[in-house]
Amino acid sequence: MLRSKMPCTGKLEIIQERKPLKTFKELDLIEPLQRAVAGENYETPTPIQAQTIPAALKCRDILGCAQTGTGKTAAFALPILNRLGAQNRAALPNRPFVLVLAPTRELAIQIGESFATYGKHLKIRHALVYGGVNQISQVRTLNRGSHVLVATPGRLLDLMNQGHIQLDRLEVFVLDEADRMLDMGFMPDIRRIIRELPKQRQSLFFSATMAPAIIELTQSLLTNPVSVNVTPKSRSVDKIEQRVIFVPRNGKQDLLQRILSGSNAQRAIVFTKTKRAANIVAERLNRNGIKAAAIHGNKSQNARQRALDAFRNQFVTALVATDVAARGIDIDGVTHVINFDLPIEPEAYVHRIGRTGRAGAEGIALSFCSPGDQSDLSAIERLIGQSVPVDSTLSVRLPRESGDGKCAKERPASGRSFPTRRPGGPGSSTRTRPNDSGSTADRASSDGKRSSKRRRRRDRTDKAVAVTNARRSAAVAASHPGSSVNQTEFSGDASRAKHKRPPRQGKNARLRARQG
C-alpha cells in the first residue's frame, strides 16, 4: 500500500493494487455518470476501458492502443466528465478546460455526441469546431463558454489566430486517432497547437495502431504515461469474416450489385480509392434500384452529414466512401464492408474492415481483387499475419496477364496469383512453335490492325492538307482579285492531293504573279 499525491487535486490518496474491472459499477464514477452509463446498458467494460479509466481518473497520462470499435471514446470521455462534474465549475468564454483533437469532421461530431450522451445528467457544455461550414455559429458557442472543446486541427488554428480560442486554462488534452493525424499530414499543426498548451496538463493519446512516429511524439509530450496495448500490433478484428473475390475490373460493378441485392447485406459500406470512383459507384447503384450515398472529402459538411444520417437511419443500403472517411464512420449494425478497390496502404485495410464487427458483433468484409492488385493483397496478408480466404462461389474466371499487358489464357478463380510470363518465354513450360496456326492468326490479326491504323492516319493527313490548301487559295484570291494565278498550284488535283502534299507557293512566285 502506497501514499501518492494526486496531480488533479493535490490530495494524498492511498493507492493499492486492484483487481481487473468486471463491471462499470466498480468504477469510481460520480452518480450522474453511473446513471448515464446504466441508461446506455453498459455493463462490462471493454479491455481498453478497464485498463485506462482507473488510471485516467487518477489524472495519469495515458497512451492507449486498441482496435477500432473497442470503446476508446468512452475510455477518455468518462474520466473527463467525472473530473468536470466533481469540480462543478462554470464554463469560461473562449477558454475551454478540455481539448479533444480529431482528424475528421465526422469523428469530431461523433465524439461530441458521446460527450452529450454520457453527460446528459451533468451541467457540462461542449463545443464543436471543424471546417467545411461557416464559423459564425461556432464562434457564438465559444463566446457563451464551454467546458469541452472538440475540434479538428485546421479550424482550431484558424480560430486561435483570430483570437476566439485561448488555451491558457486548459487542463486535459486528448489526441484521438493519433496515427491517422500523422498519416493525413497534421503533424505541423499539432505541434503548433501543443506549443500553446500549458505545461501542467493531463494528456491522453489514443490510437488504433502504434507507429514509430507516434511513440517518438509521446516520449516528448507525455509524463510517465500508462501504456495500454490490448491488441496485437496491426491485427484485424478476429470476429470479422474476411474473404477475397477475384473479379475483372469491368465486372466489379455487377458483382457489387449482386451482393447488395441479397438479403444478408442489410447495411454495407463500400470503399473506393478515389472520390470520382465513389461518385460513379453510388450513381450506378441508385440507377439499378439500390439506394446508395457517397461520402468523401469533396462533399460539403452538410452533404456528408446528410449521407451519414441517411445511412444511420437505414434510408440507404450502401454508403460509398473513401479512406479519408474510414475513421469517421462509427455506426452500429454494419453487416458488410466491401473493398471495391484494395487500399494502397495495407494499414487502411484494418481501418476499413473495422467499420463492421464493432462492440463484439460479427461482420463480413469482402475484398475485390483484379489482375494487377496481387501485390496489394500480399501486403495486406503480411500485415494481418494470415491469408485471406478465397470466395470460390462469387469469384469468376480471370484472364491471365501476359508480359505485354494483354490477356492470354483463362485461369480458374481458385488460384492465388496472376502469372505475368508470356507463353513460350523464359521460365515457361511450353514453347510456341513457329508453325502454330494460333500464333499465325494472331500475327495476321495484329498486321490487319496496324494497316487499319496507318490507313486512318493517312486519311487524316490528306484531309488536313486539303483544308490548308483551300484556305491558302482563298487568301490569295481575296488579296489579289485580278491575279491570274492558277488555283491548282495551291490545291492540286485530286490524285496529287490524295498521295502527295502539293508544293508551297513561295514569295518570289507571288511577286511574279502580281507583276504579270
Q: Where are the domains of the chain?
A: 19-229, 240-396, 466-516
- Distance from C-alpha of 305 to C-alpha of 295, rounded to nearest angstrom: 9
Burial of 216 (0-12, 13-18, 19+ CB in 10 A): exposed
- Distance from C-alpha of 154 to C-alpha of 135, rounded to nearest angstrom: 12
Mean pLDDT of the chain: 78
Taken in order 315, 318, 322, 323, the sign of the CA dihedral is positive
Residue scoring higher pLDDT (180 or 156) = 156
Q: Are 149 and 126 in contact (CB under 8 A)?
A: yes
- Helix ranges (DSSP H) in 228-345: 252-260, 275-287, 301-312
Average pLDDT, stretch 291-316? 87
pLDDT beyond 60 at 193: yes
Q: How confident is the model at residue 34 (pLDDT cuts 50, 70, 90)?
A: very high
Assigned architecture for domain 240-396: 3-Layer(aba) Sandwich (3.40)
Residue scoring higher pLDDT (453 or 126) = 126
- For position 298, what pLDDT does the model report? 83
| Residue 363 falls in which region: left (phi positive, over 0), alpha (psi -120 to 50) or beta | beta
Write down the residue that cell numbers 495495407 correspond to.
Answer: 346
- In this chain, the answer to whether the domains covering 19-229 and 240-396 adopt an identical fold is yes
Report whether CATH 3.40.50.300 matches the domain 19-229.
yes
pLDDT beyond 60 at 358: yes
Give the percent of the chain with pLDDT over 90. 34
Residue scoring higher pLDDT (400 or 60) = 60
Cross-strand partners of 294:
320
- For position 428, what pLDDT does the model report? 41
- Distance from C-alpha of 129 to C-alpha of 295, rounded to nearest angstrom: 20
- For position 18, what pLDDT does the model report? 47
Which residues have CB under 8 Å from 498's CB, separation 6+? Answer: 462
Q: Are 345 and 211 in contact (CB under 8 A)?
A: no
pLDDT beyond 50 at 17: no
Give whichever of 214-228, 245-259, 329-343, 502-516 has the largest mean pLDDT.
245-259
- For position 421, what pLDDT does the model report? 38
Q: Are 260 and 281 in contact (CB under 8 A)?
A: no
Residue scoring higher pLDDT (108 or 216) = 108
Say which range, 98-107, 332-341, 381-390, 457-466, has the weakest mean pLDDT: 457-466
